[in-house]
């Protein structure tokens, strides 16, 4: 009964902190990219299930996360409230599962409950819960904790069924997000403490036992590398040299520890220090990490929970600490969601050991009272931090208030303000450019504002400047083409679109815009070629098929045009444009 009460209290703790998220909106930080994926509004269709397992959308491969969103969309539509609550429910479940996992491994309810309470209440986890795009985190850890629970049973009885359950849960975790590729190493740490399986089996046997799990981790790393490389998310050594990566990693570890104990000024994006990183601070940070690691090793027999917890934390952060630089952030709160468990284990079981050694009931009660006060304080801070994620404008104004030189926050705040205050949005884009002059997206966004105002020639000049300053930026040429076309300079627009496609041949949107311009210019044969190229890139996209049908019809190839429209309607049965064209243009009198 006691365990049921503790589990209920943990779930209630998470519910109190995160209940307000049901009224939050999507934010313009990945949410718009994920929820803007084509056909996602169709929900859980067979075609979307196949797509979820094959897409590298937004430089990621996480089919199970897509399936969870598609399931919610099937029931509720593309609405932020249910998705936010889905994240919150998973987080609450994770708090309970963490308690069950630690209890299964240690048979100690008090420190297990303290660790789970810290996990449920810590403000650094708000990003993983209150941000819809980070469904990946809460879902992958959900299955990772199930894998640990299954492994705890296996460690106790070594039954094949529990081993298979461990593998299955781990596979589902990787399908949600590859963050838990370090789980096989965590299980080896658990073989040392608390299960002490190393006293029964050789380490070689224990490592060989994890071979299927290591193989799965390796496969996940390869797929992740492919996905992120395809999207250009992985930074080169020219952009981020090795010395900078190592320095960032050493300082990053201490930053994560510092924010664990003092979770203030939390932000959705922490700018990378780049050349501004203090080398001396990096060396000192590396020294601190090395000293703590050495002591955890030396005293591993006396304090196994510190050894396991610390190296859980260090190992779990390793894939995202900056050695392989993905994106441009220095650290990220969401990256602490899984590694934090190790720190919480070391901390709570250490406190518990001290409390047990001190036989004074007064001292023990004082210790637990302080722990409870800390958890309540963290919960209050988490509740405050949760409200930061209410909407895009609130989020980025907060980030600008707690960070410096944050061009990402200025640019995203600008996007959030476009619909309501384009003048202020323009100032935010200018602020982003002042911090990072090579942020060509902000230059293009300013030109977009001018174009929307009707200042077409000024916008054309700005797009041309962006194209000349950043010759590799296809978006500058694509928008340049759009502005030229709006000004009635279609021939120049066609050349601009071609320049864009020379830099990004797989960009379907620009390919279709080029084809539309060719169609409007009466160049039907070349328009067909471009529409067919777009169809090859995405065979289930109805838009280029409709354009191809118009071009083919203009060439008198009615049967081919009809075939394109019929295929478009198979993919998108409710497409009114395709239906109208099929009935009224190609087969009049039908």
Which is more confidently placed, 58 or 176?
A: 176
Q: Which residues share a beta bridge with 329?
A: 271
Res. 546: pLDDT tops 90: yes
pLDDT in the model for residue 365: 82
- Secondary structure string (H, E, C) spanning 494-541: HHHHHHHHHHCCCCHHHHHHHHHHHHHCCCHHHHHHHHHHHHHHCCCC
Percent of all residues in the chain with a pLDDT value above 70, rounded to a whole number: 95
Confidence of residue 239 (pLDDT cuts 50, 70, 90): low
Looking at residue 32, its pLDDT comes to 94
Residue 478 has pLDDT above 70, yes or no: yes
Assign 229 a pLDDT band (cuts: 50, 70, 90).
confident
Please choose, from the candidates 122, 104, 128, 164, the residue with its C-alpha nearest in 3D space to the C-alpha of residue 10: 122
For the chain, the average pLDDT equals 92
What is the band of 328 on the pLDDT scale with cuts at 50, 70, 90?
Answer: confident
* pLDDT at residue 234, rounded to an integer: 56
pLDDT of residue 71: 97
Place of tokens 């004082």: 366
Alpha helix (H) ranges present in 299-360?
304-317, 340-357
- Is pLDDT at 359 greater than 90 in this prediction? no
Q: What is the pLDDT of residues 386-423, one digit of tens each?
A: 999 999 999 999 999 999 999 999 999 999 999 999 99
User: Any idea which of 74-83, 122-131, 242-251, 296-305 has the lowest mean pLDDT?
Assistant: 242-251
Structure tokens at 402: 């707690």
pLDDT of 231 strictly over 70: no
What pLDDT is stored for residue 397 in this prediction? Answer: 98
Query: Average pLDDT of 144-172?
Result: 97
pLDDT confidence of residue 589: 44
Name the residue with higher pLDDT: 246 or 373: 373
CB under 8 Å to 567, separation ≥6 — which residues? 545
Dmax over CA atoms of the chain, in Å, equals 95
Listed range (168-177, 273-282, 284-293, 330-339) with the worst mean pLDDT: 273-282
How many C-beta neighbours within 10 Å does residue 471 have? 12
**Is pLDDT larger for residue 366 or for residue 312?**
312
Asked if the model's pLDDT at residue 587 lies above 60, the reply is: no
> pTM of this prediction?
0.92
Give the pLDDT band of residue 97 (cuts 50, 70, 90): very high
Any residues with CB less than 8 A from the CB of 378 and at least 6 apart, and which? 118, 121, 122, 123, 263
SS (H, E, C) 94-137: HHHHHHHHHHHHHCCHHHHHHHHHHHHHCHHHHHHHHCHHHHHH
């Amino acid at each position: 009964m006691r365990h049921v009460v503790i589990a209920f209290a943990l779930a209630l703790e998470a519910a109190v902190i995160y209940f307000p998220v049901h009224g939050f909106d999507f934010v313009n930080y990945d949410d718009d990219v994920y929820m803007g994926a084509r056909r996602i509004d169709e929900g859980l269709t067979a075609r979307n299930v196949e797509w979820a397992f094959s897409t590298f959308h937004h430089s990621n491969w996480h089919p199970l996360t897509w399936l969870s969103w598609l399931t919610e969309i099937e029931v509720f539509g593309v609405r932020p409230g249910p998705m936010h609550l889905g994240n919150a429910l998973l987080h609450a479940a994770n708090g309970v599962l963490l308690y069950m996992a630690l209890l299964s491994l240690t048979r100690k309810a008090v420190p297990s409950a303290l660790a789970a309470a810290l996990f449920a209440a810590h403000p650094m986890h708000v990003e993983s819960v209150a941000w819809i795009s980070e469904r990946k985190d809460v879902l992958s850890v959900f299955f990772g904790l199930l894998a640990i629970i299954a492994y705890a049973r296996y460690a106790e009885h070594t039954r094949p069924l529990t081993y298979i359950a461990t593998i299955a849960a781990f596979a589902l975790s990787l399908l949600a997000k590859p963050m838990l590729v370090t789980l096989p190493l965590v299980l080896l740490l658990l073989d040392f403490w608390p299960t002490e399986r190393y006293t029964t089996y050789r380490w070689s046997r224990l490592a060989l036992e994890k071979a299927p799990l290591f193989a799965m981790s390796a496969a996940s790393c390869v797929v992740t590398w492919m996905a992120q490389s395809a999207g250009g998310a992985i930074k080169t050594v020219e952009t981020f040299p090795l010395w900078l990566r190592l320095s960032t990693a050493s300082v990053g570890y201490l930053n994560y520890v510092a924010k664990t104990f003092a979770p203030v000024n939390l932000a959705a994006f922490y700018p990378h220090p780049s050349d501004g990183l203090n080398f001396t601070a990096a060396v000192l940070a590396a020294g601190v990490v090395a000293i703590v690691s050495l002591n955890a090793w030396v005293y591993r027999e006396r304090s196994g929970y510190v050894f396991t917890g610390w190296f859980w934390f260090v190992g779990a952060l390793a894939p995202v600490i900056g050695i392989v630089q993905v994106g441009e952030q220095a650290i990220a709160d969401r990256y602490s969601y899984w590694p934090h468990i190790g720190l919480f284990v070391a901390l709570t079981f250490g406190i518990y050991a001290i409390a047990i050694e001190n036989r004074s009931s007064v001292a023990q009660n004082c210790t637990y009272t302080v722990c409870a006060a800390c958890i309540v304080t963290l919960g209050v801070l988490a509740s405050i931090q949760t409200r930061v994620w209410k909407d895009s404008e609130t989020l980025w104004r907060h980030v600008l208030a707690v960070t410096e030189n944050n061009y990402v926050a200025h640019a995203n705040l600008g996007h959030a303000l476009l619909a309501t205050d384009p003048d202020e949005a323009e100032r935010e884009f200018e602020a982003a450019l002042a911090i990072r002059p090579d942020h060509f997206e902000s230059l293009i966004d300013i030109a977009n504002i001018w174009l929307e105002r009707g200042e077409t020639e000024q916008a054309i000049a700005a797009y041309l400047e962006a194209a000349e300053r950043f010759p590799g930026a296809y978006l500058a040429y694509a928008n340049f083409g759009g502005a030229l076309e709006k000004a009635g300079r279609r021939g120049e627009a066609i050349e601009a679109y071609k320049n864009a496609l020379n830099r990004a041949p797989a960009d379907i949107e620009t390919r279709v815009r080029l084809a539309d311009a060719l169609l409007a210019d009466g160049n039907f044969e070349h328009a067909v070629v471009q529409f067919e190229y777009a169809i090859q890139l995405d065979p289930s996209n109805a838009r280029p098929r409709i354009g191809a049908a118009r071009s083919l019809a203009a060439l008198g190839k009615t049967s081919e045009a009809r075939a394109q429209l019929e295929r478009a309607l198979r993919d998108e049965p409710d497409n009114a444009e395709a239906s109208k064209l099929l009935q009224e243009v190609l087969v009049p009198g039908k």
